[in-house]
Amino acid sequence: MHPNDLLTLLQAIRDGGLSVEAGMERLRALPFEDVGVAMIDHHRELRQGAPEVIFGEGKSAGQIFTIVEKMAEKGSNVLVTRLAAEKAEPLLARFPDATYDTDARAFCLTQRPLEIATRGTVLVVCAGTSDLPVAREAAVTARMLGNPVEELVDVGVAGIHRLFARADKLREAAVVIVVAGMEGALPSVIGGLVAVPVIAVPTSVGYGAAFGGVAALLGMLNSCAGGVTVVNIDNGFGAAYAATRINRIIQP
Amino acid sequence: MHPNDLLTLLQAIRDGGLSVEAGMERLRALPFEDVGVAMIDHHRELRQGAPEVIFGEGKSAGQIFTIVEKMAEKGSNVLVTRLAAEKAEPLLARFPDATYDTDARAFCLTQRPLEIATRGTVLVVCAGTSDLPVAREAAVTARMLGNPVEELVDVGVAGIHRLFARADKLREAAVVIVVAGMEGALPSVIGGLVAVPVIAVPTSVGYGAAFGGVAALLGMLNSCAGGVTVVNIDNGFGAAYAATRINRIIQP
Amino acid sequence: MHPNDLLTLLQAIRDGGLSVEAGMERLRALPFEDVGVAMIDHHRELRQGAPEVIFGEGKSAGQIFTIVEKMAEKGSNVLVTRLAAEKAEPLLARFPDATYDTDARAFCLTQRPLEIATRGTVLVVCAGTSDLPVAREAAVTARMLGNPVEELVDVGVAGIHRLFARADKLREAAVVIVVAGMEGALPSVIGGLVAVPVIAVPTSVGYGAAFGGVAALLGMLNSCAGGVTVVNIDNGFGAAYAATRINRIIQP
Amino acid sequence: MHPNDLLTLLQAIRDGGLSVEAGMERLRALPFEDVGVAMIDHHRELRQGAPEVIFGEGKSAGQIFTIVEKMAEKGSNVLVTRLAAEKAEPLLARFPDATYDTDARAFCLTQRPLEIATRGTVLVVCAGTSDLPVAREAAVTARMLGNPVEELVDVGVAGIHRLFARADKLREAAVVIVVAGMEGALPSVIGGLVAVPVIAVPTSVGYGAAFGGVAALLGMLNSCAGGVTVVNIDNGFGAAYAATRINRIIQP
Amino acid sequence: MHPNDLLTLLQAIRDGGLSVEAGMERLRALPFEDVGVAMIDHHRELRQGAPEVIFGEGKSAGQIFTIVEKMAEKGSNVLVTRLAAEKAEPLLARFPDATYDTDARAFCLTQRPLEIATRGTVLVVCAGTSDLPVAREAAVTARMLGNPVEELVDVGVAGIHRLFARADKLREAAVVIVVAGMEGALPSVIGGLVAVPVIAVPTSVGYGAAFGGVAALLGMLNSCAGGVTVVNIDNGFGAAYAATRINRIIQP
Amino acid sequence: MHPNDLLTLLQAIRDGGLSVEAGMERLRALPFEDVGVAMIDHHRELRQGAPEVIFGEGKSAGQIFTIVEKMAEKGSNVLVTRLAAEKAEPLLARFPDATYDTDARAFCLTQRPLEIATRGTVLVVCAGTSDLPVAREAAVTARMLGNPVEELVDVGVAGIHRLFARADKLREAAVVIVVAGMEGALPSVIGGLVAVPVIAVPTSVGYGAAFGGVAALLGMLNSCAGGVTVVNIDNGFGAAYAATRINRIIQP
Amino acid sequence: MHPNDLLTLLQAIRDGGLSVEAGMERLRALPFEDVGVAMIDHHRELRQGAPEVIFGEGKSAGQIFTIVEKMAEKGSNVLVTRLAAEKAEPLLARFPDATYDTDARAFCLTQRPLEIATRGTVLVVCAGTSDLPVAREAAVTARMLGNPVEELVDVGVAGIHRLFARADKLREAAVVIVVAGMEGALPSVIGGLVAVPVIAVPTSVGYGAAFGGVAALLGMLNSCAGGVTVVNIDNGFGAAYAATRINRIIQP
Amino acid sequence: MHPNDLLTLLQAIRDGGLSVEAGMERLRALPFEDVGVAMIDHHRELRQGAPEVIFGEGKSAGQIFTIVEKMAEKGSNVLVTRLAAEKAEPLLARFPDATYDTDARAFCLTQRPLEIATRGTVLVVCAGTSDLPVAREAAVTARMLGNPVEELVDVGVAGIHRLFARADKLREAAVVIVVAGMEGALPSVIGGLVAVPVIAVPTSVGYGAAFGGVAALLGMLNSCAGGVTVVNIDNGFGAAYAATRINRIIQP
């Protein structure tokens, strides 16, 4: 129910054009969606200028092309995650200004500027080169959601000195996303080094008793570093979204 | 190695009181802990005025009493979590100004003021009354870590209207901690309603296929609401710590 | 917002005592709970005359006594499930007309008649004598929710002739609740024999690879009999509640 | 043993054409199947006019074609579930009046009318678009089993207002099938809103810690809404079958 | 329906005392149990002289005493498994001729001789001393079921020479029951040494990744020795029962 | 060490051709394999006339062809299990008298007669048509191991009357192998009907919470019918091997 | 068979006191244990001077006392692991020179010197104070097995600088045992720092998704540091035993 | 920071070319990596002459070719593990002196001699022929890391005499790597026979309840032989690396 409709209804009651009983009946059936929309007004603030997002896995090239084109017509920014390279080709032919990140397997179309204020840099740290696709998905998503992003690659705990060599980056971040597979130990180390929020992303990298990311997931949930939070296995997108919730400056 | 010690060492070299070789030898053995401490200087900012924390489970009343007394002597604030009521008694007798929260099973001794700036209120939402101990642990911890805290109890998804009736609290929070057992669905609903960070805490409430909190944990990790992050089962403390990382205003 | 309040508001607008703008403002903030309550009006029909239900596990005898007394004052019927015998004693002393079922570990206080129309009998079938507590919880609950109930005990699949000897009971039921532990095979056999709804309840009876009811749960979820549905392990209460949803005659 | 055979046997005894001993011997060996058939007479009522059902997965196009043709010769209605599109082609060429639902991956051949009385509408609610194939399997099956069916798509809990906007559909249903993957929270919300039976279908939609539908399954088994029942992961067919058990009007 | 009843019924038809129709009606309702009983006649052969068996776990001393006394009155042999020593005391006081095996935690009352023919000896092999209770339960049960029994203790695979030193016992057995916890490897070794049936019993002995017997269970199910079969964790009774099925000479 | 060699050695000592010390040295190093071989003499009895067995899965057509040809040269009977149809073709071309069972996916080459005495028939019972490949593997293997074999198909517990209709087959079997997927309930029903050994084979048939045969496996391990034993998922071969251990008449 | 017996036997043959046939018969039955013992001669070298070890868990104080006394009579060194303090008391009263480590819950009786050569120090590193009992069990065991032992406590990865501060100890160790619960990340960090063998011991320390040590176990099995090996959860004894296998200087 | 740089810095301070404050500033920022490198100097000793190692799985033929070529230019030895045969072809064409092991799926390029001292032979024991790829990966890796290697194939526990026949090899080994799938029992047997370190490698060989190597993994973790250590499923490389840590003679 649009505010204007409500206005009209109340005016009709005031003016006698609608009986109190009829008005009451209509209001009892007040569509929930309006209530909901009112509630998510606050949420919209987050979405301001943010891209429309499509989860590309399990959708055909044709389906994705159709959806993207429809969104692009409205002038929206568009992010397609988990998009195989061959499915990206027709999109890139159609939108020459768009980009495709082969590591992240993400397609980005930016038609209008991202202008949202943030507190600082989102740092995406990646334990091993095999974890890179997930880390890049986090980085690409965080950028499309309006965050300044830095990346730090191949700093796993078995060669901990490589992490320490880049301590400067850790010191400057407003939020740190830590992507790691296998034993998933990196967030514990980083969580002990920085005071800012640390979001851990387990990856399905590994074999045998890695159980498709379960070992890393459990490792992160049991981190001995206080206040590390965790998202689903391989969920680089979700980590970036969570970082944006933290990093976005929202007027109360 | 304290900066003063380093200063003294370098001055001694400059002044000839120490040979270059002897100085080099001492520096080679530069204690790692100092390096580490330097690194966690930033971390200290987080801890400013924060309590010393003791995990009470599995420690005897005597052990806890000794530790608390030692910390109290230094003038620290002290938080003991997972403390059985009977173990709290000697502490309360010894520290009459301290408090014990029976729901949270937490002992709090505040000897000096908590003066750290935060962005806003941490809202702790609790799905059912059985989840209350975990929710209260989160609330008590968040307060001891310097956050303004609000609580919202018994607003599970099977009676979703109760949540909507308190939409005002959701709108005003800077960070939301959502505590739920059984199917752990509440964070998904709240994650769809607010734009601020949502930290989900699965609890071990339930029986049978709840598997001691695994059902709730999996539900939260697979939340269809974007950017919800998760901590370990029953880890109210960790959620509050994570909220503090987010809510604390840190000077870069 | 009570319908009367809404009536008053609209009348005030009609009568000019409230401006359209002020009324609109109040309606925008329309409490969600009212909407919710409106929605669950239909739900109330189910609850008509139904008992208040308390999950007794994990609550002290004192807590339960207080809750029951408060509910009893309002004239409600009261059902306490998972109530240890020793916790039932003070209740039975206080409410001499109440009953306690030692198998079901359920306390029942019936202060007003249950008058809701049902389609027929709920038959609770129990595979082995060890499954009896769960079966009895289902039976007691179903009765308190206004269903005629029949019970059939110790008819496990390893002595399948015992089940067939009571085929008459199966033929006459409107809904069948099948309670079984260990391999949980009984619902498959019964599901192949009757055309009415079959609700399967796995129990935690068994040891070793029974894994606290997981074997029975999986067996029931994979039933080769079409259309068997399942509730949580040991959830006799839930099965009775589901049977009531099916068996209750609701006016559309 | 056909009743006529039994009649003949008893008459032969009465008439002296068969000795008591010989008759006794034949009756001792009374084929179990007859007993069983007698028992499932009641079951037949359910099947009246219902389709023959083939589980298409793992069968070759040729095998399916042969089975369907054989059933069609008898004038039966036929439902093939989990049928890949390419395997449906020869069937559609052979039976021009049949239909194939690409979402449900189901083939339907209706040769005679479905005339069974039901209590009302089966509403199939689907959390996300990825859950659609399972929801459509439920809807197609429910229709072939003689139920009026309504569908409600993409009303997941993270955008709960979309569900509330369609509250009318929920109010009018006689049975609700709720299909959801990921955290599987939707049945809890709906179970709290309606008084009619709710059958929850977890889907294998999701990745990582969704564990192929286990997260949704556990969520549904632990639903905090009373009386929600659950079927196997992706078992849209089973949910429709269970709904039919509930919705069919059976003469006792 | 007792054969005599059937005889009477048929005679009444022959003699005209019962109409064919009335007889037919009674036969249509032929109790399933009779059919079942007919079927399990063969099964009775197995039970000839065998003890009544009571699973003692979870039953009170009083309950067990009552059941045993009732069985003893009929002159039955009685076996109570999983019986705590203190619960056995009143039974031993009441039945001075009975015995209680403290390792097996089994009570045996033999009132009539066990006279069933067997093919040979059941050998119970036990990997470690901690597995002894389960092994003894198997041995005691096998004896009460009429088998000659030999035992071989503490011949685990880490000291494989101890097993080989007793090769004579292995050679002479008709059936071998192998009881082992931890990695459960012993059945594989023995399965490679003997040609007779090998029944493997995993025990819950072990800690950590033994997972209460799961490691042993999986080891036994995956035995590289052909034709080893497995029963539930700690199920010494079941193994003895299976051995009896094999070892009993049954007249076809 | 062949007995003849030992004889020669001892004779040489007796005759003075070998010193006691040299003989002792040779005996100390007594090859374990001889000991082992001595031990498995008994085992050989089982293998008398039995086929060489090759597990075909994961081997190339070429590898299998080579192995079979080599075995065939020695005049052995050969059984290849888990052999894809296309890999069987060159074998069938090379050995025109051999057979290939497409259901069992087993190749059988019988070059010499199987002449071993057995106690009776091995009955292979199969719950559903999808379980047929495993059931057929068991049947083909049991035949190649010298057992008379009967088969009974599609007698699942949801249509239990079909099983009862074939009670004669159950009555006549010496050993029963029961093959079932999904909930794996059939062995419990059969175990309650017959007194002979019952070997349960869970299959990976099913989907979702069937977990590739785990549901059936757990169901069978927790069978409420006494003395049912279990082999690995889909292990038709192992069940047949176990049946042969039971059914073979071995001279002690 | 003792070598002397073999000598006697061969001499009797040589001397004609025993026929070749009788000797052959005795040799055919050559006890396997002798062969085994011959084989484990090498093993004995490891045990030289090593203590007899008793696993105290699940044994009564009386049983343990009896076993220890019997071993002590032979002059053996004795180690009892997992021994509750109250069970240690009678032992300490009986053997005043013995010691009991309350952290390790281990009783040590040293009656003769440990004199075996080792390559160097076994360093036991412990992540958190809660892991101490397991670490101490490893340390006490390693000492009783003849190794020089160093310990390093509370150097978890969340405060990684504490580990680096003790780099000297890491540098000097011949074998490192790393004991850690929760996420079990410490072995990865240490495995990247040292070139000597690293044995990881997961502990059951933690709660919720720690799953009794499973999280730590999986973390260690998936260590990104090459060549880290793992023992069972809480198996400090096993780690010490493995370290001894490595550290002991064995003459080939 | 190279020692020379530190020397220069201190000399500059001594000589007055650098102020104490400026020197202090540079030292405070002492790069962690130098510290780390200093620490891993010891580690380098292990790597002396060792190959660069590439994990081939999941990398394209092109990527691998590029990496190998780059490493080869520096004169390094190169080992590529988990390399599919077709990806090895271009490498073998480019480096004619290199070898490719089809069982191990490993590519080895040896450009400079491996000259590191070891204590003795690494023996790789393999339970079944299906475990061969993992065993060969261990053997090839161990050789490339400078160890003398022996192999022992197809000595599974179901034919234990084959193992005993090769007791000589066991006696001569300095370290034993035991590779086994299915029930993973072989390390227990070998651990009881030898005193040297035993590293167990579970393989994913098996089906059904083997769960991709979990059964073998659990079996090995629960080995009743003291001091057996375990690596990840199929991790032949890791076992060889661990063996090298043990076998390498490192100067303290």
Q: Where are the domains of chain G?
A: 31-109, 122-249
Nearest chain E residue to D17 by CA: give it.
E14
For residue E197, pLDDT beyond 60: yes
Q: Name residue C150's beta-bridge partners.
A: C123
pLDDT digits (tens, 9 = 90+) for E105-147: 999 999 888 767 788 999 999 998 889 999 999 999 999 999 9
Does A221 contact chain G (CB < 8 Å)? yes
Query: Binning pLDDT at 50, 70 and 90, where does residue G41 land?
Result: very low
Query: Please, are residues H75 and H111 in contact by the beta-carbon 8 Å criterion?
Result: yes
Residue bearing the bigger pLDDT, B82 or A29 = B82
Query: Binning pLDDT at 50, 70 and 90, where does residue D45 land?
Result: very low
Closest residue to G157, CB basis, from A182, A192, A221: A192
CB contact under 8 A, D36 and F161: yes
CB contact under 8 A, F128 and C185: no
Residue bearing the bigger pLDDT, B75 or G246 = G246
For residue A116, pLDDT beyond 90: no
Residue bearing the bigger pLDDT, F245 or F171 = F245
pLDDT digits (tens, 9 = 90+) for E75-84: 888 999 999 9
Q: Cβ contacts (< 8 Å) between G181 and chain E: which residues?
A: none
Query: Please, are residues B139 and B116 in contact by the beta-carbon 8 Å criterion?
Result: no
Residue bearing the bigger pLDDT, F111 or C35 = F111
Portion of chain F with pLDDT greater than 70, in percent = 86
Does C225 contact chain A (CB < 8 Å)? no
Indicate contact of E with G: 3+ CB pairs under 8 A: yes
Per-residue pLDDT, A76: 83
**What does D58-123 look like in DSSP terms, one character per residue?**
T--HHHHHHHHHHHHHTT--EEEES--HHHHHHHHHH-TT-EEETTTTEEEE--S-----BSSEEE
CB contact under 8 A, F183 and C223: yes
Portion of chain B with pLDDT greater than 70, in percent = 85
- B126-130, F125-129, F245-249, G37-41: least confidently modelled range: G37-41
Per-residue pLDDT, E33: 33
- How close D32 gets to chain F, by Cα (Å)? 5
The three-point CA angle D171-D173-D175 to 5° equals: 130
Domain formed by B122-249, architecture: 3-Layer(aba) Sandwich (3.40)
Q: How many CB pairs under 8 A join B and H?
A: 43
Query: Binning pLDDT at 50, 70 and 90, where does residue F37 land?
Result: very low
- The predicted model gives B66-80 an average pLDDT of 87
Q: Cβ contacts (< 8 Å) between E167 and chain G: which residues?
A: 32
For residue C210, pLDDT beyond 60: yes
In this structure, the strands spanning D198-202 and D173-180 are parallel
Q: How many CB pairs under 8 A join E and H?
A: 120
Query: Binning pLDDT at 50, 70 and 90, where does residue D199 land?
Result: very high
Write the single-letter amino acid at D100: Y
Indicate contact of C with B: 3+ CB pairs under 8 A: yes
Per-residue pLDDT, E3: 54
Interface confidence, given as ipTM, is 0.83
**What does chain C look like in DSSP terms, one character per residue?**
--HHHHHHHHHHHHTTSS-HHHHHHHHHT--HHHHHHHHHHHHHHHHTTPPEEEE-TT--HHHHHHHHHHHHHTT--EEEES--HHHHHHHHHH-TT-EEETTTTEEEE--S-----BSSEEEEEESSGGGHHHHHHHHHHHHHTT--EEEEES--GGGHHHHHTTHHHHHHEEEEEEEE-TT--HHHHHHTT-SS-EEEEE-----GGGGGGHHHHHHHHT-SSTTEEE--TT-HHHHHHHHHHHHB----
10 Å CB burial of residue G125 (0-12, 13-18, 19+) is: buried
Q: Determine what percent of chain A falls in helix, strand and coil, rounding each to the nearest 5.
A: 50, 15, 35
CB contact under 8 A, D46 and C195: yes
CB contact under 8 A, F30 and G35: yes
Neighbours of chain C (3+ CB pairs under 8 A): A, B, D, E, F
Indicate contact of B with D: 3+ CB pairs under 8 A: yes
Neighbours of chain H (3+ CB pairs under 8 A): A, B, E, F, G
pLDDT digits (tens, 9 = 90+) for A72-100: 887 888 999 999 999 999 999 999 999 99
CB contact under 8 A, E14 and D28: no
Does F208 contact chain G (CB < 8 Å)? no
- D80-94, F174-188, G114-128, G196-210: least confidently modelled range: G114-128
Query: Binning pLDDT at 50, 70 and 90, where does residue C186 land?
Result: very high
Ranges of residues in chain H whose predicted pLDDT is under 70: 1-5, 25-49, 115-116, 165, 250-252
Give the C-alpha separation, C248 to C142, whole Å. Answer: 11
Closest residue to A7, CB basis, from C11, C24, C35: C24
For residue D2, pLDDT beyond 50: no
Per-residue pLDDT, B251: 52
Neighbours of chain A (3+ CB pairs under 8 A): B, C, D, G, H
- Best G14, G18, G30, G35 residue to mutate vs chain F (most F CBs within 10 Å): G14
For residue G173, pLDDT beyond 60: yes
- The predicted model gives D103-116 an average pLDDT of 87
- The predicted model gives A104-125 an average pLDDT of 88
Q: Residue H85, SS3?
A: helix
C64-78, D79-93, G58-72: which has the highest mean pLDDT? D79-93
Rg (CA), chain F: 23
Does G20 contact chain E (CB < 8 Å)? no
Does C111 contact chain D (CB < 8 Å)? no
Residue bearing the bigger pLDDT, B176 or F59 = B176
For residue G147, pLDDT beyond 70: yes
- Best F155, F161, F166 residue to mutate vs chain D (most D CBs within 10 Å): F161
D 158-187 residues inside an 8 A Cβ radius of C: 164, 167, 171-172, 174
Closest among C131, C168, C136 to C149, alpha carbons compared: C136
In this structure, the strands spanning F106-109 and F99-101 are antiparallel
Query: Binning pLDDT at 50, 70 and 90, where does residue F135 land?
Result: very high
CB contact under 8 A, G237 and H226: yes
H 31-90 residues inside an 8 A Cβ radius of A: 31-33, 35-37, 39-40, 57-58
CB contact under 8 A, C237 and D248: no
For residue F208, pLDDT beyond 50: yes
For residue F82, pLDDT beyond 90: yes
Give the C-alpha separation, C126 to G95, whole Å. Answer: 58
Per-residue pLDDT, A10: 83
Rg (CA), chain E: 23
pLDDT digits (tens, 9 = 90+) for G126-141: 998 889 999 999 999 9
- C238-247, D31-40, H16-25: least confidently modelled range: D31-40
Per-residue pLDDT, B38: 32
Per-residue pLDDT, F40: 32
Sequence-separated (6 or more) residues with CB below 8 Å from residue D26 = D9
Closest residue to C35, CB basis, from B161, B208, B209: B161
Q: Cβ contacts (< 8 Å) between B162 and chain C: which residues?
A: 33, 36
Does H229 contact chain G (CB < 8 Å)? yes
Tokens 């503490």 correspond to what residue? Answer: E154
Per-residue pLDDT, G236: 97
- The predicted model gives E228-236 an average pLDDT of 97
CB contact under 8 A, E245 and F192: no
What is the residue-averaged pLDDT of chain G?
A: 84
Q: Cβ contacts (< 8 Å) between H163 and chain F: which residues?
A: 32
Q: Cβ contacts (< 8 Å) between G243 and chain H: which residues?
A: 227
- How close F134 gets to chain D, by Cα (Å)? 15
Does A28 contact chain D (CB < 8 Å)? no
- The predicted model gives C172-200 an average pLDDT of 93
For residue G176, pLDDT beyond 80: yes
DSSP letter at G112? S
Nearest chain B residue to D130 by CA: give it.
B224
Per-residue pLDDT, G28: 55
Q: Name residue C81's beta-bridge partners.
A: C55
- The predicted model gives D24-35 an average pLDDT of 49
CB contact under 8 A, H219 and E183: yes
Neighbours of chain B (3+ CB pairs under 8 A): A, C, D, G, H
Closest residue to F210, CB basis, from C127, C215, C222: C222
Q: How many CB pairs under 8 A join A and D?
A: 42
pLDDT digits (tens, 9 = 90+) for E39-69: 333 333 344 457 888 888 888 898 899 989 9
Q: How many CB pairs under 8 A join C and D?
A: 109
Portion of chain E with pLDDT greater than 70, in percent = 85
Query: Binning pLDDT at 50, 70 and 90, where does residue F202 land?
Result: very high
Q: Measure Cα distances from A60 to A64, A65, A87, D88, F84 in Å.
A: 6, 9, 8, 20, 32
Q: Cβ contacts (< 8 Å) between C226 and chain F: which residues?
A: 158
Name the helix (H) or strand (E) containing H45: helix H32-47
- How close A136 gets to chain G, by Cα (Å)? 21
- How close G251 gets to chain H, by Cα (Å)? 10
Q: Where are the alpha helices (DSSP H) in chain E?
A: 3-14, 20-28, 32-39, 41-47, 61-73, 85-94, 132-144, 160-164, 167-172, 186-191, 214-221, 236-247
